[in-house]
A and B are shown apart, each in its own frame.
Chain A
Amino acid sequence: MDLYSETILDHYRYPRHRGSLLRPSARVVQHNPLCGDVIKLDIAVRDSKVVDTRFLGAGCAISQAATSLLLDSIQGKNIRSLERLTRQNVIDLLGISVSKAREQCAQLGLTALQKAITMLKQKRKR
């Protein structure tokens, strides 16, 4: 069973960055209407850098592990560099190929993160 690698099961059981932030720079709640998976993502940014990020969620191993791995990978990063994150980056983090049906599970966290970045950019314009 390649899909459920040790890494994925580990991040599913022990998700990193779980929780929420008291004063997030941006907060996004993202649903997958197909299966009811949901993620609440908080991100704190200072001087354009990610200083902290947390998520709470309920869903399948793929969506929860992918979010955990994704948040792990963006700590300390400049938010401009996050704009360049692609779906392929998430697949690389997971280290597996997912079926079309599970692709949406894998990308739930990235979708939430992209929305958060858009919110941050809009905030800055104002």
Chain B
Amino acid sequence: MQKLGEHIKKQFPIFSRRINGHPLVYLDNASTSQKPRAVIDALSTYYKTMNANIHRGIHTLSEEATDRYEQTRTRVARFLNAASPTEIIFTRGCTESINLVAATWAAAAIRRDDKIIVSALEHHANLVPWQELARKKRARLDIIPLTAELTLDEKRFHTLLSRKTKLVCLTSQSNVLGTVPPLRRMIKAAHTVGARVLVDAAQSVGHSRTNVHALDCDFLAFSSHKMLGPTGVGVLYAKKEILEMMPPYQYGGDMVESVAQRRSTYRPAPWKFEAGTPNIADVIAFASAIDFLEAIGFDAIQQHDADLLSYARSVFANYHRVQLFVPEGESSSVLSFTVEGVHPHDVATVFDVQAIAIRSGLHCAEPLVRLLGVEATARMSFYLYNTRSDIDRAARALEKVFKVFSLTLPRSGIQPLA
């Protein structure tokens, strides 16, 4: 096992960067991760030595690029423990993967008065497409609420399930709270009423082992950029029997079998879902990100995440003006917090002056943040290159926040509208 934290930082060129005179502390990994040299090199090697369009050229470069592109598909299938590489579709990102399901399978399968269930933990990408689809189809959208402990209300989920339920959409880890729903149990329950289940794995896929066979989910979506890979690459896994029934997503070159003036036939899955020239370079470099993560191993990554989260909780819990939003006993990699009397944007600005990158605001999960009863939150999210001393630096920045805002509470700083 490679040692994580400080040791591995050296493999990420961005950490030689200084911001406002301080070395960078990057705690915004739930937004996107930094990239190791191996991934950056793979990207530039592709452009320097192999650049060509795929699936259509006879020449050497095209064959090499096609091989590497398709090898990545095989690599992803193995990484997810999918039955076959043909169950893997490349998209632009997790959001497009989810929209692809909404525009193809769900648009055909969901009818008036059917039910779609989503959880209260979803971020916008796994909520808004379903709101739109439900509206268009006059289907019903039900939400699994949160318990007071910030976990999903499983009891309520069971009462929401019925024969009318066609689709259940669940995150594998909340990007605001870190809550991890009991996916296996929930998927099993959904299947007993004949519903399909889509898992948004964007937050967990770079942090813990994803096994689609064991999960038995019908769809799983994520993007490369939160797991050390390049931006602009998403993955949609779908069970083979579903993919075969799904109509194509977009139409054009590369997804066709034969084209006549007035009619065309389409290639089988997954290629019928990949119209036009795909993001070849980034897909190929994505394979290096998977190699990098697997060389370290998810046991080590999870252990490291758990250590950082529990350390951050214990450090930040010392400040009585700080409220933490995290379920008890959950070991994820995100920690949302608020500072009494100071808006999260102001917290993030003070942190940034100290070269500490955190996220503030609604985290693309507005309904969830509203449920917490706050205007917004600040969020630290960790990954394998973070260290306990990063968290110490964050704590010093927090003290700076107290100092700037003179510890006194604004008389009328944060107030609800009258």
Contacts and interface: CB of A to CB of B under 8 A. Distances in A.
A37 B360 CA distance: 12
B410 A58 contact: no
Interface string A39-75: 0100000000000000011111110100000000000
B375 A58 contact: yes
Contacts of A40: 417
A20 B349 contact: no
B360 A64 contact: no
A57 B376 contact: no
| Prevailing SS type, chain A contact patch | mixed
Interface residues of B, number: 29
A105 interface: yes
A92 B416 CA distance: 28
Interface residues of A, number: 27
Contacts of B376: 35-36
A118 to B, nearest CB: 22
Contacts of A105: 345
B261 interface: no
B299 interface: no
Contacts of A99: 349
Given A58-B375, A64-B413, A1 B418 contact: no
Nearest to B408: A13
| Prevailing SS type, chain B contact patch | loop
Contacts of B360: 35
A97 to B, nearest CB: 13
A38 B417 contact: yes
B406 A58 contact: no
A13 to B, nearest CB: 4
A60 B378 CA distance: 12
B83 interface: no
Which of B343, B353, B375, B408 has the most CB atoms of chain A within a 10 A radius of its CB? B343
A9 interface: yes
B160 interface: no
B345 A35 contact: yes
A37 B410 CA distance: 16
Which of B346, B404, B418 has the most CB atoms of chain A within a 10 A radius of its CB? B346
A13 B414 contact: no
B314 interface: no
Given A36-B366, A61-B413, A3 B418 contact: no
A40 B143 CA distance: 30
A58 B414 contact: yes
27 contacts: A1-B400, A1-B404, A3-B349, A4-B346, A9-B406, A14-B412, A15-B412, A34-B361, A35-B343, A35-B361, A35-B376, A36-B361, A37-B345, A56-B415, A56-B418, A58-B375, A58-B416, A58-B417, A60-B345, A61-B346, A61-B405, A61-B413, A62-B345, A62-B346, A64-B413, A102-B345, A105-B345
Given A35-B360, A36-B375, 19 more contacts: A1-B350, A1-B353, A3-B353, A4-B405, A9-B404, A12-B413, A13-B408, A14-B411, A15-B412, A34-B362, A35-B344, A35-B361, A37-B343, A40-B417, A58-B417, A60-B346, A61-B343, A62-B345, A99-B349
